[in-house]
């Protein structure tokens, strides 16, 4: 039993087909997560963290903030149509590496061929089971294929806002054990479930 487990739940609904649900264990926190956690624990001043968004320039993440301004911190609240952060999907097939800073081949938001319509991120509050000392919280996103062609998803990722900058950072990157093909008007819901067991 890991100290902290993440499951990825993939729910696929294609027209005229039964809904399929797949679940696998995410093992792919990348180095950015460890660096962010370390600097957070240590209350460090601004530090460099390679960003996923924007694709050029540099950002300084900052864990040492004061005052009452609202600063994002491991946030995933991307809105509808915003593919730059939150849960992302892609067509890359390379095994995730600890040094990854972005998804390999992002499927962009849109309704043309090779694009998916990104829904807004949804968060499920923690569910705590006191009788067996387990708990989880979920983040999820719905993707709709509004194009006239099929699209195959092979990788998923979580890109987070962090530390008071406009930049977004890759924190989790997973390959799907089996690619998921979305037909026109098909939808896929990706859920990351964060689990503990005390």
Partner 1 sequence: MQKSSYGRGKNDKMRGHTLKVYCLVEVKDKGKVIYSEQFESHSFVAQWLQLLYSMFGLINISILGNSVPFESPFITPIELNAGSGNQSYGIQVGSGTTKSINDTALDTLIPNGNSAGQLAYGSVSITSPTINTSTNQGSFNVTRSFTNNSGGSITVSEVGVVANVLALNGNRYNILITHDILSSPITLANGQVLTVTYIFSIQT
* Footprint on this chain of partner 1 (rule: CB under 8 A): 1-6, 18-31, 33-35, 37-38, 40-43, 63-68, 70-77, 96-100, 123, 125-126, 128-130, 133-137, 139, 160, 173, 176-178, 194, 196-198
Query: Using CA atoms, how far apart are residues 179 and 118, in angstroms rounded to an integer?
Result: 18
User: Nearer Cβ to partner 1, position 115 or 156?
Assistant: 156
Give me the least distance between CB of 179 and partner 1, in Å please: 10
Q: Which is nearer to partner 1, 92 or 115 (CB)?
A: 92
| Min CB(175)–partner 1 separation in Å | 9
CB of 111 to partner 1, least distance (A): 27
Nearest approach, Cβ of 58 to partner 1 (angstroms)? 19
Q: Which of 144/172 has CB closer to partner 1?
A: 172
Please identify, using beta-carbon distances, which residue of 31 and 184 lies nearer to partner 1.
31
Nearest-angstrom CA–CA distance, 118 and 109: 6
């Amino acid at each position: 039993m890991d100290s902290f487990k993440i499951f990825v739940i993939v729910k696929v609904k294609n027209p005229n087909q039964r809904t399929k649900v797949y679940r696998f264990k995410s093992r792919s926190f990348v180095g950015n997560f460890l660096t962010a956690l370390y600097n957070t624990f240590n209350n460090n001043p601004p530090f460099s963290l390679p960003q996923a968004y924007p694709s050029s320039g540099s950002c300084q993440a900052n864990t040492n903030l004061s005052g009452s301004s609202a600063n994002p911190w491991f946030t995933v609240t991307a809105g509808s149509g915003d593919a730059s952060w939150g849960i992302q999907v892609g067509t890359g097939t390379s095994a995730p590496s600890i040094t990854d800073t972005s998804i390999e081949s992002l499927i962009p938001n849109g309704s043309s061929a090779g694009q998916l319509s990104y829904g807004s991120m949804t968060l499920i509050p923690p569910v705590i089971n006191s009788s067996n000392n387990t708990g989880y919280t979920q983040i999820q996103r719905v993707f709709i294929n509004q194009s006239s062609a099929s699209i195959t998803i092979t990788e998923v990722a979580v890109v987070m806002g962090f530390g008071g900058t406009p930049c977004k950072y890759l924190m989790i990157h997973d390959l799907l054990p089996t690619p998921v093909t979305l037909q026109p008007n098909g939808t896929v819901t990706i859920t990351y479930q964060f689990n503990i067991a005390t």
